[in-house]
Amino acid sequence: MAATPLRSSAPERRPLRGRRPTDTPSAVDRAFTGATTTSGLVVLLLLTLIAVFLVREAWPALEARGWSFFTTVEFSVVGNPPVLGVLGLLVGTVVVALIAVLIAVPVSVCTALFITDVAQGRVRSTMMGLLDLLAALPSLLYGLWGFAFLTPYLEPVARFLSTHLGFIPLFRVEADKPLISSYFFAGLVVSLMVLPIITSVVREVFMQVPPGEKEAALALGSTRWDMLRTVVVPFGRGGIIGGSMLGLGRALGETIAVSLLLPQSPISVVHVFQYGGSTIAGFIAVNTGASGLALSGLLAAGLVLFAFTLTTNFVASLIISRSRSGAGVDA
């Protein structure tokens, strides 16, 4: 008597279709493809509509000022006619964002390495929960905390650095200028805001490192530090760059915190520890009651920030596609 073959208790998998050009995709596959395609087209449509709106509303200011709009430092909405110039606002925006990224990226990478390859059990889950909690806090709280709590502690630090690094023009401070409400203060607070975002992206990439590569490095006699330096960090280069660019975009568009931490007065010379400065988003938030040509100038400044952010993200995507962890992702 022939033995009855044993049946597997595992559920049967749905056969994949559409693997070859001659195959017909199933209804679920077609619905998924249509949904994702529609979502992508909706995003592109929204970006196009935002760009068209900004160009249309900013055109009167651009037509009135011409190229001087991009080379003028001062921006005043109270004059008649108003003085419109985006250079001082753009420089302040870039300085604050760069300070934030320069502080946040090393801390984020070290934190991600600690979570993925050092911490265990409850420590790891606690760290991940704290990072998610920091990312959920509104920017208003960061701004109030930085303005009311950090100022007394950061002013001595700014004075020490300006005293010992004052030979560098960027760190020089004029004798009669206070050391509060500076680019350094704003950049430090914004770095705390973008740190959870960068850490989350880098952490997810580090968790994708093949365990075999790490075990091989350790088996060949590498220390944990050597393994992290030669295996994990090179593998996650694309994630580090992508997280940094995502944090940079977040820092470029930060509004509420910088509007509280900076006096929103465009300046021609940048001293990171000295009182003064402004950003595009913060200046627009402070002057939302403008009308007429001044309102058109504010929208023109927003158009510059929109184009600058899109360009930054596009360059970042090109860099990521050429890195190890990002190569072939979009293929």
**Residue spans per domain, the chain:** 46-321
| Whole-number Å distance between alpha carbons of 173 and 181 | 13
Q: In 137-165, which ranges are continuous DSSP H helix?
A: 139-145, 151-164
Cα–Cα distance list, 267 to 65, 86, 91, 106, 123 (Å) = 19, 11, 9, 29, 45
Average pLDDT across the chain, whole number = 84
Considering only residues 316 and 42, tell me which one the structure prediction assigns the higher pLDDT.
42
Provide the total of helices (H) and of strands (E) in the chain, helices listed first: 14, 0
Residue 328, pLDDT above cutoff 50: no
pLDDT (tens digit per residue) in 227-254:
888 888 888 888 888 889 888 988 998 8
Q: Please compute the mean of the pLDDT values over residues 74-100 and round it to a whole number.
A: 89
Please report the pLDDT score of residue 7 as a whole number. Answer: 53
pLDDT digits (tens, 9 = 90+) for 256-289: 889 888 988 888 778 888 888 899 999 998 988 7
Q: Please report the pLDDT score of residue 139 as a whole number.
A: 84
- Strands (DSSP E) found in the chain: none
In this structure, which long-range contacts are made by residues 134-139, counting pairs with CB atoms below 8 Å and at least 24 apart in sequence?
Answer: 134/192, 134/195, 134/196, 135/196, 135/197, 135/200, 138/256, 139/193, 139/254, 139/255, 139/256, 139/257
pLDDT tens string 95-136: 999 999 999 999 999 999 999 888 888 888 888 888 888 888
Predicted confidence band of residue 327 (pLDDT cuts 50, 70, 90): very low
In tens, the pLDDT along 138-182 reads 888 888 888 888 888 888 888 888 888 888 888 888 877 788 888
- Looking at residues 78-98, what average pLDDT do you find? 89
Q: Average pLDDT, stretch 308-320?
A: 82
Looking at domain 46-321, does it have CATH number 1.10.3720.10?
yes
Q: Residue 277: helix, strand or coil by DSSP?
A: strand
Residue 38 pLDDT greater than 90, yes or no: yes
Q: Which amino acid is present at 320? A: I
Q: Which residue has the tokens 């952010």?
A: 309
In sequence order, what E strands does 7-132 have? Answer: none
pTM: 0.84
Cα–Cα dist 197/137, whole Å: 12
Residue 223's alpha-carbon distances to 155, 162, 213, in angstroms, are 41, 39, 14
